[in-house]
Amino acid sequence: MTDFAARTFTAPDGIKTWYRFYDAGTDRLPVLCMHGLTRNSRDFADMIPSLTQAGRSVIAVDVRGRGHSDYDPRPENYNPGVYAQDMFGILAQEGWDRVITLGTSMGGLMSMVMAASRPGLIEAAIINDIGPELDPAGLTRIQGYVGGAGGPFEDWNAAAEAVRAINGTAFPRETGPDFWLAFARRTCRELETGGVVFDYDKAISELARTGNVAPPDLWPFFDALTASPILLIRGAITDLLAMSCVDEMRRRAPRMAYCEVPDVGHAPLLTEPEAASAIDAFLAGLD
């Protein structure tokens, strides 16, 4: 695993956001990795070495309410607008005024919000299995498990079974226990008192269950992003990014690169050969 420095940024409201900083020691455009709704920076650990080996420094964030970051006592702050402000603070702290964003699901929505708020900041964007319209089928599925997936679990094997129950339909080819145990270790944490729990604040479910996880009309935010090169990655069996939305994204951004990962739902891990090759090719064409 590529070494990183653990750093924090404290927002004006006092919430500390924890992040991994990977220093490639070059002046190539750096990459900001932002995870999905219930995930954390560990999601990117296996694909970041390819970024640093290409000479790109990387920040991978635990968005507030996840991982090592503070939980927010005000659940209404669990929204992309607040998250974007945290990202701006982190980038300013590191002196990054131009960045490539890599956002999975919620992280992709954050990229759109950031592009609309700070034109010129995002030089290019990789969007993983999300668009300006959320397919109701996927949104209903997410609302069904966020904050109510059980736990604490007795041990890591029990946690792996719970993770598989939630995500099994998205990875139908993954039947071995090792995959799901690794998945659990990315998305859960062990309690000092014993047992394993999901590594996020259950309060994020309050907004997710009402559907208020993003601004009501995201198309203007996506339009702001189209000034930059975009790579859209989609799981072929995803239930959150409908092809009708992809078609409209392509109409509005004709130069947008596109990659579909076969036999994967929401969301690709980005280590799949198709996704990894698409990312490498996309980044090779920048700076």
What tens digit of pLDDT does each residue of 205-259 get? 876 666 555 667 999 999 999 999 999 999 999 999 999 999 999 999 999 999 9
Rounded Cα gap, residues 122 and 125, in angstroms? 7
For residue 184, give the H/E element and its range: helix 177-187
Q: Looking only at Cα atoms, what is the longest distance across the chain? A: 53
Domain with 80 in it: what CATH number? Answer: 3.40.50.1820
Residue 37: burial class (beta carbons within 10 Å; 0-12, 13-18, 19+): buried
Q: Write out pLDDT tens, residues 36-52.
A: 999 999 999 999 999 99
Let me know if residue 109 belongs to a domain.
yes
- Tell me, what's the pLDDT at 213? 58
Buried b (16+ CB within 10 A) or exposed e, 62-72: bbbbbbbbbeb
Cβ atoms 107, 59 nearer than 8 A: no
- Tell me, what's the pLDDT at 223? 98
Torsion, CA 135, CA 131, CA 264, CA 171, rounded to 10: -60
Six token digits for residue 265: 């739902």
- How many residues are there in the chain? 287
Let me know if residue 279 belongs to a domain.
yes
List strand residue ranges (DSSP E) for the chain, in order.
Answer: 5-10, 16-22, 31-34, 58-62, 99-104, 122-128, 188-190, 196-198, 230-235, 257-261
Q: How many domains does the chain have?
A: 1
- Tell me, what's the pLDDT at 150? 72
Let me know if residue 204 belongs to a domain.
no
- Tell me, what's the pLDDT at 1? 55
Let me know if residue 161 belongs to a domain.
no
**What residue numbers bound the domain in which 122 lies?**
5-136+213-284
Q: Which residues in the chain come in under a pLDDT of 70?
A: 1, 147-149, 207-215
Distances from the Cα of 6 to the Cα of 20, 33, 165, 284, angstroms:
5, 15, 32, 27
Q: Edge-to-edge strand order for the sheet containing 230-235?
A: 5-10, 16-22, 58-62, 31-34, 99-104, 122-128, 230-235, 257-261
Rounded Cα gap, residues 138 and 242, in angstroms? 10
pTM: 0.96
Let me know if residue 255 belongs to a domain.
yes
Instruction: Using alpha carbons, select from 27, 22, 29, 17 the residue that is nearest to residue 2.
Output: 22
Rounded Cα gap, residues 20 and 249, in angstroms? 31
Let me know if residue 22 belongs to a domain.
yes
- Tell me, what's the pLDDT at 140? 87
Rounded Cα gap, residues 143 and 186, in angstroms? 21
Torsion, CA 275, CA 146, CA 60, CA 173, rounded to 10: -30
55 — phi, psi (to 5°)? 85, 25
7 Cβ partners below 8 Å, 6+ apart? 18, 19, 20, 21
Rounded Cα gap, residues 200 and 38, in angstroms? 6
